[in-house]
Structure formats: structure tokens, C-alpha cells
Amino acid sequence: MSSEFSSTVILVLCTGNVCRSPMAEALLRYHLAEQNLKATVLSRGLAAPVGRSPHEHARKIAEARGVPIRSDKRASSVTGGDMAAASVIFVMDNEHRRDIQKNYPGSAGKTFLLGQWQNCEILDPIDKPESFFESVWAQCDEGAREWVGRLKKVGMLS
């Protein structure tokens, strides 16, 4: 598994892998490319409806901002292999962190809130209006930008 990844693997988790984590994955890829930094970025769900496409609002907002979600992106569930391969794991809320601590205790020390530096949890926009997705996008963008800078500073990205 490791041969297909760059040395730094960033794993982004949310509940279903159809809203928040696909947006955050696209934004992390964008901010890495913006600084010519290399990392493998993956997103998964803790309770994913496997095979489902990202939510239409998430796709629309990402496309409108020039940071499209990969067209082949489909919801997938996190595995123990994903957790082991990850250098750092970003989750959206404290419930996700508790889930990691319970089910993947060996990965708890490398798991952080994407919105940590904004001191916020990023709430699930599923079944919410497009305007709610807009605010989630902004939170993911701010978190992704901040984390890329911090990971670069500590030498995890080059």
C-alpha cells in the first residue's frame, strides 16, 4: 500500500464521505499544489454510504471556486490500513475524535480537528441548504490552508 503514496499521507475523515471530507480533500490538494508541496491526500467516512457520489451542493460549490472535487470520487469507508498509512488524520468534530480513540486507539495521537486553529468543529451539512454548505466550505478552506502551513513548518511537507 505504501508504494502508491508519497511519504506524507493526509487522511480526512467525516461521517459519510459525501460532504465535508471530499471538500476538505479537494482544498488540501489545492493548497498543497499552490505551494508546490507533495503529499497523498485521501478522504474516507466513518459510516460511509459506499459508492455514493459527493453531494451535489459540495460539487457545485467546489466547481464554482475552481477547486473541483475529483470526478471519480465515491464515498468509501475508512479501514485499518488507511489509519495505519496516515501520517496525520483530520476529522470534522469531536464525535469523530472519540470514534477514532475507541476504534483506532493507535491513531488517536495523530488525529486532529480540521478546524483546530479556528477553534471550531465543522458541522455536517447533509440535509441543509446550500448556504450551509457555503459556510462549511469556508471553514474547510481556512482549516486546510492553516494546516498546510503548519505541516510545512514542522517538516512534514516539502
* 127 is a catalytic site residue: no
Residue 99 falls in the annotated catalytic set? no
Residues 6 or more apart whose CB falls under 8 angstroms from that of 96 comprise 13, 14, 15, 46
Marked catalytic residue, from 14, 93, 140, 141? 14
Q: Which of 82, 93, 99, 124 is catalytic?
A: 124
CB atoms within 10 A of CB 89: 26
Question: Using CA atoms, how far apart are residues 145 and 154, in angstroms rounded to an integer?
Answer: 15
Residue 117: Cβ within 10 Å count: 15
- Dig out the grid coordinates for 56 from the structure: 451535489
- Looking only at the bridges linking them, the beta strands covering 9-14 and 88-91 are parallel
Q: Residues 19, 20, 140, 141: which is the catalytic one?
A: 20
Q: Is 124 a catalytic residue?
A: yes
Question: What element of type H or E holds 112?
Answer: strand 111-113
Q: Put the strands of the sheet holding 40-45 in their side by side order.
A: 40-45, 9-14, 88-91, 111-113
- Pairwise CA distance, residues 88 & 82, whole Å: 11
Residues annotated catalytic, as ranges: 14, 20, 124
